[in-house]
């Protein structure tokens, strides 16, 4: 597909005008989030999703108990949208488990977890295994798909996260046998490898996942070579515009995975081809726009858990069909990881309390647009 000069310049300028407004990744996230929140329904006082968030900040971590509840996509998104800084994707292909974590005594929400099928290519995983996945080998891919899960959303409510190291609690739950057993029951398994990445890499040198040995270990940084997606309104408008010029056909099939990313990639490719020979100056301007936009995304810090098995590398490389438990395997039980968290959270909470720094104001996007995205 090649666009005429007028169409190519129009489509290129949609991207140029959009990405030229951002200096850092948090600028981009804030704009996308505020656009989405502006369409969020207004709730009556005392009846909004924020009223279910944890706010019992005089409770000591040692007095807390937790319940993990699997919920529908609608419930999950309605809660998460007002808490997380990232845009929430509703339709996600592959494996999917959506959990809301409650503090049992207060019956209030402390965080959200979404588990899903991992990305195929990961530099830190490749380094751990000793090589990239052989995607053409059926046995290799079956072992990978049957054994690996990724944490895409691990988000505490705030200020529970700040006061009590809530992000570490959620991450520890992801590494627990509760997670492994749930996955094994739903998808077969046996699962032995959990992966996740930090929200930020070069912008922030640490993560909520640091200091979580033996449950979760840093494995290196991912490779970042893509631009963020344009916002929802621009995407829908441009997608329909391309469809009209493509004989009524979408650029990417409706049931394709990562459809929005693939569609934007196809748009960019078409614009490049259409400008390269006819408008060299505009072509270079467009190329530079995407070079700058890629700086908004980052190499993220990657972390892995083995659920308490000692030979995950050998198992994933098909060198054995038997997983061997570590001596500390039982520490990965749900009660075990919560106990580990209580020890860390108690020190954090008591220190903040002694300094008079306990936060008590709920941070939700539908009530406060000045949330500090990079904490």
We report the CATH number of the domain holding residue 65 as 3.40.630.30
Q: How many domains is the chain partitioned into structurally?
A: 2
Tell me the residue range of the domain where 206 lies: 40-224+298-354
If asked whether residues 210 and 320 sit together in one domain, one would say yes
Q: Which of 260, 294, 328 is the last residue of a domain?
A: 294
Does residue 370 belong to any structural domain of this protein? no
Quick one: average pLDDT of 104-110? Answer: 97
Question: What's residue 373's pLDDT?
Answer: 45
Is residue 212, in this structure, part of any structural domain at all? yes
What does the mean pLDDT of the chain come to?
88
In degrees to the nearest 10, what's the CA dihedral of 68, 70, 75, 80? Answer: 50
If asked whether residues 255 and 319 sit together in one domain, one would say no
Digit-coded pLDDT (tens) for 252-301: 988 776 788 889 999 999 999 999 988 999 999 999 988 888 776 667 88
Residues 73 and 115 in one domain: yes
Q: How many helices (H) and strands (E) does the chain have?
A: 13, 7
**Domain assignment present for 365:** no
Alpha helices in 154-258 (DSSP H): 160-164, 166-174, 177-187, 232-244
Separation of alpha carbons 329 and 38, rounded Å: 47
Same domain, 203 and 318: yes
- 237 and 265 together in one domain: yes
Ordered alpha helix ranges (H), 120-211: 123-129, 138-147, 160-164, 166-174, 177-187
Tell me, what's the pLDDT at 81? 83
Least confident of 46-50, 131-135, 248-252: 46-50
- Verify that 169 and 285 share a domain, yes or no: no
**Is it the case that residue 118 has pLDDT exceeding 80?**
yes
Pairwise CA distance, residues 277 & 2, whole Å: 11
Same domain for 266 and 194: no
Helix axes 5-19, 259-276, angle to 10 degrees: 130
Separation of alpha carbons 371 and 320, rounded Å: 48
Is residue 372 domain-resident? no
Q: Got the DSSP string for 253-272?
A: -TT-TTHHHHHHHHHHHHHH
**Residue 364: inside a domain:** no
Going by C-beta distance under 8 Å and a sequence separation of 6 or more, which residues neighbour residue 149?
A: 95, 115, 116, 117, 118, 179, 183, 191, 193, 194, 195
Q: What percentage of residues in the chain have a pLDDT greater than 70?
A: 84
Q: Let me know whether 57 and 206 are in one domain.
A: yes
Same domain for 142 and 180, yes or no, is: yes
Distances (CA, A) of 48 to 30, 42, 110: 22, 8, 16
Q: Does one domain contain both 115 and 213?
A: yes
Least confident of 19-23, 114-118, 193-197: 19-23
Tens digit of each residue's pLDDT (9 = 90 or more) over 230-248: 877 888 899 999 999 999 9
Total residue length of the chain = 375
Whether 375 maps to a domain, the answer reads no
274 within some domain? yes
Q: Are 75 and 157 within one domain? A: yes
Greater model confidence, 370 or 196: 196
- Give the integer Cα–Cα distance in Å for 269 and 255: 21
Do the bridges between strand 148-156 and strand 193-197 make them parallel or antiparallel, or are there none, so unpaired? parallel
Cα–Cα distance for residue pair 262/226, rounded to 1 Å: 11
| Cα–Cα dist 194/48, whole Å | 34
Report the DSSP beta bridge partners of residue 217.
304
Q: Report residue 374's pLDDT band, with 50, 70 and 90 as the boundaries.
A: very low
Last residue of a domain, one of 269, 294, 319: 294
What is the Cα–Cα distance from 108 to 127, expressed in whole angstroms? 40
139 & 231 share domain: no
Cβ-contact 225, 128 below 8 angstroms: no
């Amino acid at each position: 597909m090649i666009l005429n000069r007028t169409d190519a310049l129009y489509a290129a300028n949609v991207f140029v005008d959009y990405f030229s407004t951002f200096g850092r990744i948090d600028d981009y996230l804030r704009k996308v989030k505020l656009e989405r929140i502006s369409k969020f329904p207004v709730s009556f006082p005392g009846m909004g999703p924020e009223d279910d968030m944890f706010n019992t900040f005089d409770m000591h971590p040692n007095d807390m108990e937790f319940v993990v509840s699997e919920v529908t996509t609608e419930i999950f998104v309605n809660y998460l949208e007002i808490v997380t800084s990232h845009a929430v994707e509703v339709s996600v292909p592959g494996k999917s488990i959506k959990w809301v974590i409650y503090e049992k005594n207060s019956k209030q929400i402390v965080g959200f977890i979404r588990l899903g099928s991992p990305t195929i290519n990961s530099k830190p995983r490749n380094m751990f295994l000793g090589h990239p996945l052989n995607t053409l080998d059926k046995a290799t891919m079956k072992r990978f798909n049957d054994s690996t899960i990724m944490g895409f959303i691990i988000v505490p409510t705030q200020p529970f996260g700040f006061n009590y190291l809530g992000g570490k609690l959620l991450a520890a739950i992801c590494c627990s046998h509760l997670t492994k057993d749930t996955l094994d029951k739903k998808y077969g398994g046996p699962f032995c490898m959990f992966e996740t990445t930090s929200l930020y890499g070069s912008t922030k040198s640490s993560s909520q996942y640091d200091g979580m040995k033996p449950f979760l270990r840093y494995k290196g940084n991912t490779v970042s070579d893509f631009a963020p997606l344009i916002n929802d309104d621009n995407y829908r408008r441009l997608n329909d515009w391309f469809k009209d010029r493509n004989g009524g056909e979408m650029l990417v099939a409706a049931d394709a995975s990562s459809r929005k990313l693939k569609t934007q990639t196809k748009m960019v490719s078409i614009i490049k081809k259409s400008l390269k020979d006819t408008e060299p100056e505009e072509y270079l301007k467009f190329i530079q726009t995407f070079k700058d936009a890629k700086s908004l995304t980052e190499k993220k810090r990657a972390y892995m858990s083995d659920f308490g098995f000692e030979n995950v590398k050998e198992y994933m490389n098909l060198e054995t069909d038997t997983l061997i438990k570590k001596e500390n395997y039982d520490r990965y039980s749900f009660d075990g990881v919560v106990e580990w968290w209580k020890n860390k959270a108690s020190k954090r909470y008591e220190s903040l309390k002694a300094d008079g720094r306990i936060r008590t104001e709920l941070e939700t996007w539908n009530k406060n647009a000045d949330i500090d995205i990079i904490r």
